[in-house]
Amino acid sequence: MKLPSGRHLQSVLPAAALACAVGLGHAAARGDEIHVNGKTLQRVQVIGYAHGDVEIRTATGEQDKFPLSDVEFIVLGSVTGVADFNQAEELMVKREAGQAVERYERAVRAARGFWASMARVRLVMAADAAGDLEKAVRVWLDVVAEDPHTAAELVPQAPPSPRSQANERTQKRLEKALAEQSPGAAQAVTTLVYYDVLKRTGDPAAAVAGEQVADSPLPLEVMTARTVAVKLSALRAEIDAQRTAAALKSLDTMIAVAPMEFLPDILILKAQALLATAQREQEFLQAALPAMRVVIHFPNNPLVGEGLLLAGEAHARAGRQADAERLLQECLRRGNAPERVLEQARSELARMSAAGS
C-alpha cells in the first residue's frame, strides 16, 4: 500500500511489514515504526504532518520528513489511544479496505491535531479503495480545505454508486463546497473533481463543467498525476467538440509550467489535436513536432510508440511517404508500445503499401 499516491492506489507490502503491524505490542515498547520506500525506520517518533509530509524524530534526536506518498505503513507505539489507527493500517495491508474505513473513522473522531489530519488522509484512501465514492468525496473535501496539495494526490477514483441518490448527494456536496471556496488551489482541484464525478455519472452538466476545467489554469501546487489526467480528459472532450484552438492554448500553458513527468501525456494530446485539424503540408509537419519531442526527450516512456505512430501518420498525410514508413517501422520495433498502437502502425503501413502498388 502506498498512500497517497496518484500512480499507485495500493500495493502489497513485504511480509516483514505485516509482521510489524501484528506485533503492535512490541512496537509500543520501542516507539514508532515507519516504512518508507521499502525501508524500515525503527525507534522513531512521528511528530507532525503538514503539506503532505510526515515529520519524524529519530532515536538520536535528529528530525526528518518524508512525503506521505512515499510512506507505505506506520506502526504507532509512542502515543496512546491509536489502536484504531494501527488496526486500520494493518487492514489496508491485508486489502480489507471496507473494514479499514470503519477503523479510520473511529481514529479521526478520537484524534487531535496532526493525527486527525493524517487519519483523515488515510480514510480517504481507504474509502476510495473500498469503492465508496460518496464517502471518499465527503472526507476528501475536509482534506482539500486543510491541504490542497495532499488533496490533489488523493483525487477519488472509486466508481460512481449504482444508487443515483448517492451520486446526487456527492454532486450537491461538491457544488456547495465550490460556492463556499475562494479562488485558488482548493477551488481549482475541487472543480476538477466535480467535473470528473459529473462525467463518470453521465450527467449532461459535465459538458459545461468540462469547458471550465479546460479553460482554467491548473496551479502548479495541485498538479499531480491524478489532476493532470482529469484536466487532459476535459481537453480531449473540447477537442472532440471541435473547440481545438482553446484546447491548444491550454495545452501550451501546461507545457510551459508542468513538471517533466507530465509532459509526455500533454505533448501527445497536443499532437493529436494538431493532427485532427491540419489541412496543409506544413500543418501536418507541425503536428509531428510535439510527438517527436516525446520520442527524443523521453526515450524510455511508454508513450514513445504512440509518438512515433502520430509522427508517422502526420508525415504520411503530408505526402512524405519515406519518412512515414521509417517512423512507423520504428514504432513496430518498440516492444513497450501498446497493441492498439502497433495495430494502427501495421494498418497504416499496409494502407501505404496498397496505395503505392
- Per-residue pLDDT, averaged over 54-76, amounts to 88
- Per-residue pLDDT, averaged over 150-169, amounts to 92
Residue 171 backbone phi and psi in degrees, to 5: -65, -45
The ranges assigned to domains in the chain are 1-130, 148-258, 277-357
- Per-residue pLDDT, averaged over 287-296, amounts to 97
Contact predicate 124/136, CB 8 Å: yes
Q: Which of 292, 260, 258, 261 is nearest to 275 (CA)?
A: 292
CA–CA distance, 253 with 273 (Å, rounded to integer): 15
pLDDT for 17 beyond 90: no
Amino acid identity, position 228: V
pLDDT tens column, 237-271: 999 999 999 999 999 999 999 999 999 999 999 99
Give residue 247's pLDDT: 95
Residue 258 backbone phi and psi in degrees, to 5: -70, 145
pLDDT for 23 beyond 50: no
Please tell me what DSSP assigns to residue 77: -
CA–CA distance, 168 with 245 (Å, rounded to integer): 33
Q: Which residues contact 289 (CB under 8 A, 6 or more apart)?
A: 271
pLDDT tens column, 184-223: 999 999 999 999 999 999 999 999 999 999 999 999 999 9
User: Which helix (H) or strand (E) segment is 32 a member of?
Assistant: strand 32-36
pLDDT for 137 beyond 60: yes
pLDDT for 13 beyond 90: no
pLDDT tier, 25 (very low <50, low <70, confident <90, very high otherwise): very low
- Per-residue pLDDT, averaged over 159-167, amounts to 90
Amino acid identity, position 265: D
Q: Which residues contact 355 (CB under 8 A, 6 or more apart)?
A: none
79, with CB counted inside 10 A (0-12, 13-18, 19+), is middle
- First-to-last C-alpha distance (Å) of the chain: 56
- Per-residue pLDDT, averaged over 15-20, amounts to 36
Q: Where are the alpha helices (DSSP H) in the chain?
A: 15-22, 24-29, 83-93, 97-110, 113-129, 133-146, 148-153, 164-180, 185-200, 206-215, 225-240, 244-257, 263-277, 281-297, 304-317, 321-333, 339-356
Q: Which of 55, 254, 221, 225 is nearest to 149 (CA)?
A: 221
pTM: 0.83
pLDDT for 175 beyond 80: yes
The arrangement of strands across the sheet holding 71-75 comes to 63-67, 53-57, 39-50, 32-36, 71-75
Average pLDDT, the chain: 88
pLDDT for 3 beyond 50: no
DSSP three-state, residue 42: strand
- Per-residue pLDDT, averaged over 21-41, amounts to 65
pLDDT tens column, 293-333: 999 999 999 999 999 999 999 999 999 999 999 999 999 99
Contact predicate 137/193, CB 8 Å: yes
- Per-residue pLDDT, averaged over 111-140, amounts to 93
CA–CA distance, 175 with 284 (Å, rounded to integer): 42
Give residue 19's pLDDT: 35
pLDDT tier, 98 (very low <50, low <70, confident <90, very high otherwise): very high
Give residue 266's pLDDT: 98
CA–CA distance, 48 with 117 (Å, rounded to integer): 10
Give residue 30's pLDDT: 53
Written as one string, the DSSP assignment of 308-323 is HHHHHHHHHHTT-HHH
pLDDT for 24 beyond 80: no
Amino acid identity, position 178: L
